[in-house]
Amino acid sequence: MTVTATISGIDELVASLSKVPSRVVSGVKTTDEKSYIIAMVWAYGYVTRTINPGPKTLWSVNYYGEPKVLTITAPTGFIRVQEQDYRRILNAEFAAAAFASKPISSWSTLAVQMMTNAAQRCAQITSQAAPIDKGDLRASIVAALPGDTALSGSGVGPYGTAFTDVADAIFGGS
C-alpha cells in the first residue's frame, strides 16, 4: 500500500528562507590602528619578544596560556575576561528578536538588528573594561556592525597588522 501526502506552500517557504542570510556577523573594533595595536598588547601581552616587566607591567598568563608581560591594570587581559558577558548579551538579544513570533520575511532585518544591538552592548562593556592610560583606547572601542570590513575574518587585524606583529609595530622590533 502506498501513501502519498501533498503539502502546499513548501515552495513559498523555501523561497522565504532562501532570503534569510545564513550568517550575520558583528563585533567590536577600534577606530584607529594605534588603538588596535595597544588593545592587542594589553589584552594578550607583549607577544613578539622577551621583555621584562616595568613599573606598570607584570608577568601574567595571556589568552593562549602563555606567560607574557601584561599591564598591571588588566593582568588577565580585558577582552577575554568578558566572554561570559558577551554570551549573555548575545542570548538576550536573540531572545528579544523573537524570531518564532515574527514572519520569515522579517528575519533578515531581525538578524541584522539583533547583531547590531549585541555589538553595541559588547563594545560598551569592552570599552569600560579597557585599561586606562590616557583614555584614548576606551574612546576608540566601538561596535563593528554587520557588513563592516573590519570583520573580514582574514586572520589579520583590520589595519593589515598581523596579530603577532602588533607589539613590534608599536614598540619597535628587536
Q: What's the mean pLDDT in 5-13?
A: 81
Q: Render pLDDT for 37-90 as a digit per residue (tens, 0 to 9).
A: 778 777 766 544 556 666 666 677 766 677 766 666 666 667 777 888 999 999
CB-based contact 36:158 (threshold 8 Å):
yes
Assess contact for 70 and 76: CB atoms under 8 A.
yes
C-alpha cell at 163: 596579530
Q: Quote the CA–CA distance of 99 and 166 in Å, as a whole number.
A: 40
> Does 105 have pLDDT greater than 50?
yes
**Which backbone phi and psi does 75 adopt, to 5 degrees?**
-65, -15
The residue ranges of every structural domain in the chain are 24-43+77-169
**pLDDT for the residue numbered 163:** 45
